[in-house]
Structure 1
């Protein structure tokens, strides 16, 4: 007689609270996918380095050739596929294997010449400007 009442009393709080499993699944998936990207994909990219900072959210920090910060992108909510697409869009070269050679045209990738506007408002590359001066 007491057993059914005891069991009902123990399970009553569980019936009143609904867990959103999708939200928990997405949180865990994001961290796992970023971790997989760091372990498996970073070695494939040319001119991409990993710097581990304990307790910090994963970020992609874009630096100029003078090591000045250009942009900072938080990767916490990105999936592995989205991070790879982002790097492709930014111009990073992805090798077939970590030991694969990098073609000469990608040695300085994703670096691009800085653009400046001339007197007529046209955009020209900085290297061309230096040559003319």
Structure 2
């Protein structure tokens, strides 16, 4: 899973509103929740490349900082940035 580790080391901190849970290391996945904390979608990432994970997050409207440590503008503090849809 070198691609996943690359994403975690290089890109994870650029995205706003992501949490990492290391308990799923054997079957890593992205879990997307609704505003009511209900699971909306689960995406396995074990075989995905770092670029694919970034593209997925970008397409779903996650705010991406231009550099680590950059403040997130107030208008982008809430997820999702785009209006919620029935499915992701």
- TM-score, normalized by length of structure 2? 0.83
Question: How big is each residue's C-alpha offset from its partner over 1:7-61, in whole Å with a ceiling of 9 and x where there is no partner?
Answer: xxxxxxxxxxxxxxxxxxxxxxxx1011111122111100011111155311000
Structure with larger RCO (C-alpha < 8 A, sep 6+)? 2
Whose Rg is larger?
1
Give the 5 Å matches for 1:1-133. Answer: 31-53=1-23, 55-110=25-80, 112-114=82-84
Q: Aligned-pair RMSD on alpha carbons?
A: 2.0
Superposition misfits of 4+ residues, deviation over 3 angstroms? 111-116
Q: CA deviation at 1:66?
A: 2.1
Q: Give 5+ residue unaligned stretches, structure 2.
A: none
Q: Give 5+ residue unaligned stretches, structure 1.
A: 1-30, 117-133
Q: CA, structure 1 residues 74+49, in 2 after alignment: closer, same or farther (shift >3 Å)?
A: same
8 Å contact kept, 2:30–2:42: yes
Question: Which structure has more helix as a fraction of its residues?
Answer: 1
Q: CA, structure 1 residues 80+93, in 2 after alignment: closer, same or farther (shift >3 Å)?
A: same
